[in-house]
Amino acid sequence: MSLDASDITAAYPGTNDVLVRQSLSVPPGELVGLAGPSGSGKSTMARVLALLLAPREGVVRIDGVDVSGVGFSVPPDVRRKVALLFQSPRSATDPRMTLRSIIEQPAVIARRAADVDELADSVGLTTDLLARKPHQVSDGQLQRACVARALAQQPKYLICDEATAMLDAATTAAIVRLIQRTADAAGMGVLMISHDVELLSAIGADTTFIGS
């Protein structure tokens, strides 16, 4: 049981291949790192594994089952197994929505209830922040809301695409500890993508290097 990329070759439409026959595996409950220089295809791999970009070659496999298609062409019960945490929380959220609406968005889409107050508390957000919009909170607070949104999806695997690159050192440490605690408690597999090899080493991630 794992989230697997097997011999993935991928690129965006109209461009040359960024990834060429790259493979990695993210087991449940484990923290895996992916490192490489800018332009090496780290974010491309993130989007392939999150079922947002179809590879030109190779297979994405979730818990032993090959997955074809991307986005809403993938069955919801399969698609929701993987959540993606983006580098920039501001570009990943609707500025018109409150933090409460942002956090509960996956549950609303899935037509089920979510305890937003509990999710907010689990990521270190106080309830008074939930009525605010993105421009009324810090980058760190907004990224915490994005973590809570990912948890509301109840994923089995979480992909963090340079999720702390835009944060200061103290906030980075807090977000990483939060993700580690959540992974341990929920048995969630985490792919931590970063150019910061020291960070990946500090959190004990088994790291794959690409483009080097």
pLDDT tens over the chain, length 212 residues? 899 999 999 988 878 888 899 999 999 989 999 998 888 888 999 999 999 999 999 999 999 999 988 888 888 888 889 999 988 899 999 999 999 999 999 999 888 898 999 999 988 899 999 999 999 999 889 998 998 999 899 899 999 998 887 778 888 888 788 888 888 887 899 999 988 888 888 888 888 898 75
Helix axes 169-186, 139-152, angle to 10 degrees: 10
> According to the model, what pLDDT value does residue 132 have?
97
Report strand pairing: 157-161 vs 19-26.
Answer: unpaired
* CB 21 within 8 Å of CB 11: no
Which tokens belong to 47?
A: 């989007």
Question: Sheet holding 206-209: strands in order across?
Answer: 82-85, 157-161, 189-193, 31-35, 206-209
Residue type, 81: K
> According to the model, what pLDDT value does residue 185 have?
80
> According to the model, what pLDDT value does residue 37 have?
83
Q: How far is the C-alpha of 170 from the C-alpha of 21, rounded, in Å?
A: 36
Q: How far is the C-alpha of 172 from the C-alpha of 120, rounded, in Å?
A: 18
> According to the model, what pLDDT value does residue 189 have?
93
pTM: 0.88
- CB-side exposure of 200: number of CA atoms within 13 Å? 25
Helical spans, DSSP H, in the chain: 42-49, 76-79, 99-110, 116-122, 139-152, 169-186, 197-202
Pseudo-torsion of CA 91, 95, 101, 105, nearest 10°? Answer: -30
* CB 199 within 8 Å of CB 37: no
* CB 178 within 8 Å of CB 124: yes
